[in-house]
Amino acid sequence: MTFSNLLKSAVFGLAMLGVTVPAMADQLADIKAKGKIETATDMHYAPFDMIDNGTYEGMTKDLFDAVAKEIGAEPVYQDIPWTAELPGLEVKKFDIIIAPVTITPERLQRYAFTLPIADATVALLRAASNADLKKPEDIKGKTVGVQQGTAQFKQLQAFGDKIGGVNIKEYGTTDEAYADLAAGRLDAVAGSLPNLTYLVKTRPETFAMFDKATFGQPTYFAWVVRKDADSESFVKAINAAMLKMTDDGRVKAIQEKWLGASAELPREVPTK
């Protein structure tokens, strides 16, 4: 007798004895039953998440609106500081983190990631008036801002050690770092390539990319779900929706709307 048949026989036997057998938890079934998906994101991370005149918008919202429709549930969007998102997910304050989270080997061990939604390779931003900074190595001895607790911070730290030292200043949000760069209190800001490209596109009089902007390993952004058996069906449903939207052109259209260009993304979750 196989283990599966043995388990079925045991469950049937318990039922015959009048013993109540609890149903296995299934996050997707629970979401469909309540008709909503509780999400968390930091709404200060343009062009993925932002608030315009009190209204939440951005690439993340457009993507997840479409994914939620495919799943058959209404998304509930919550503005949560980045540093509170992963802890909140673990204690089930929400179903999913839709803030763009960089896939890293360490995080893969603890969380379940969806298919990538965008490139997350770390890059450097300077003031438009500062033409002396051209390549990543030029930040040696300079003061560089970065959002705290991010994969971009870790890559900046490692790169700084490699080139002989960088004065790193951490910020709660990228907007705070951009403001200090514009005010001359920073020499540069490190962040993901699409975020910085969008900022330069919208504020070219204030900011500019380094001539060679990126450094470190190529990485991707994705959404994060709890890594347990309950959540497996939910992750599969999201990935199925994303693949469908990729194949019918919706992902490309949303990328072009918010990033100005589209990129081919992995059809499997990167493992490193």
Q: What is the pLDDT of residues 189-221, one digit of tens each?
A: 999 999 999 999 999 999 999 999 999 888 999
Q: What is the pLDDT of residue 79?
A: 97
Q: What is the pLDDT of residue 37?
A: 98
Between 19 and 93, where is the model more confident? 93
Q: What is the pLDDT of residue 5?
A: 47
Instruction: Domain ranges for the chain, please list them.
Output: 27-119+220-259, 122-214
Fold (CATH) for 122-214: D-Maltodextrin-Binding Protein; domain 2 (3.40.190)
Q: Is 43's pLDDT higher than 90?
A: yes
Q: What is the pLDDT of residue 123?
A: 96
Mean pLDDT of 56-79: 98
Nearest to 221 by CA among 70, 47, 1, 74: 47
Distance between CA atoms of residues 51 and 242, nearest Å: 24
- Dihedral Cα 186, 192, 197, 200, nearest 10 deg: -20
Q: Is 29's pLDDT higher than 60?
A: yes
Mean pLDDT of the chain: 91
Mean pLDDT of 242-256: 97
Between 24 and 71, where is the model more confident? 71
Topology agreement, domain 27-119+220-259 and domain 122-214: yes
**pLDDT tens profile 101-157:** 999 999 999 999 999 999 989 999 999 999 999 999 999 999 999 999 898 999 999
Q: Which residues pair with 97 in a beta bridge?
A: 40, 224
Mean pLDDT of 2-26: 49
Strand, helix or coil at 182?
A: helix
Q: What is the pLDDT of residue 135?
A: 96
Distance between CA atoms of residues 245 and 270, nearest Å: 19
Reported as a pLDDT band with limits 50, 70 and 90, residue 28 is very high
Strand, helix or coil at 68?
A: helix
Q: Is 1's pLDDT higher than 60?
A: no
Mean pLDDT of 227-241: 96
How do beta strands 55-57 and 74-76 pair? unpaired
- In the chain, pLDDT over 70 holds for what percent of residues? 91
Q: For the chain, where are the alpha helices, taking DSSP H only?
A: 3-16, 27-34, 59-71, 82-90, 105-110, 151-163, 174-182, 193-202, 232-247, 250-259
Weakest mean pLDDT among 11-25, 145-159, 235-249: 11-25
Q: What is the pLDDT of residue 24?
A: 56
Reported as a pLDDT band with limits 50, 70 and 90, residue 11 is very low
Fold (CATH) for 27-119+220-259: D-Maltodextrin-Binding Protein; domain 2 (3.40.190)
